[in-house]
């Protein structure tokens, strides 16, 4: 149901769609991003493999109606592609936001270590531009603090 509604919002001209996360989930994402456990990669896989056909509906007739509308409209592949693209872009943006928040709130050397991990995670998701952006921000901060030649600076 939500997958179809997401697509409908994306397909509606002039419709603005914001994906929000509760603070507790933002913390979980932040922890996943800076950890070296690969949790962000698992989240990415889940988001980029969303399929309306596998989605649940509380009422079976609703699911049948949605699938009929999908088949008569954009088709399963087009809908899934559109939704996956939006979720992937949102996820990369959320990781960027978390990295920026870390840089602003953590002690600089700890933040640099965390952002080095975030940069690696972003590269593993083929989000190279986002990785470069957060790493360059961190390097500027390290340089202005005279800590560019630290171990954390080398990792970034």
Q: How far apart are the first and last CA of the chain?
A: 41
User: Encoding tokens for residue 134?
Assistant: 């957060």
Q: What is the C-alpha separation between 69 and 148, in angstroms, rounded?
A: 56
pLDDT at 125: 85
Q: DSSP character for 145?
A: T
Contacts of 45 (CB under 8 A, 6+ apart): none
Mean of the pLDDT values across residues 24-44? 79
Q: What is the pLDDT of residues 62-101, one digit of tens each?
A: 899 999 999 999 999 999 999 999 999 999 998 898 899 9
Average pLDDT, rounded, for the chain: 90
Residue 102 and residue 111 in contact, taking contact as beta carbons nearer than 8 Å: yes
Is the per-residue pLDDT at 54 higher than 70? yes
pLDDT band at 139 (very low <50, low <70, confident <90, very high): very high
Is the per-residue pLDDT at 38 higher than 90? no
């Amino acid at each position: 149901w939500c997958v179809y509604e997401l697509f409908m919002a994306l397909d509606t001209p002039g419709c603005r769609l914001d994906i929000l996360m509760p603070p507790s989930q933002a913390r979980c994402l932040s922890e996943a991003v800076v950890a070296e456990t690969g949790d962000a990669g698992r989240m990415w896989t889940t988001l980029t493999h969303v399929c309306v056909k596998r989605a649940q509906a509380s009422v079976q007739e609703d699911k049948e109606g949605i699938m009929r509308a999908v088949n008569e409209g954009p088709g399963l592949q087009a809908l899934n592609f559109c939704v996956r693209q939006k979720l992937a872009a949102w996820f990369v943006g959320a990781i960027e936001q978390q990295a920026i928040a870390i840089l602003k709130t953590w002690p600089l050397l700890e933040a640099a270590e965390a952002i080095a991990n975030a940069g690696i995670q972003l590269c593993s998701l083929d989000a190279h531009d986002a990785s470069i952006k957060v790493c360059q921000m961190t390097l500027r901060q390290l340089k202005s603090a005279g800590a560019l030649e630290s171990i954390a600076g080398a990792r970034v």
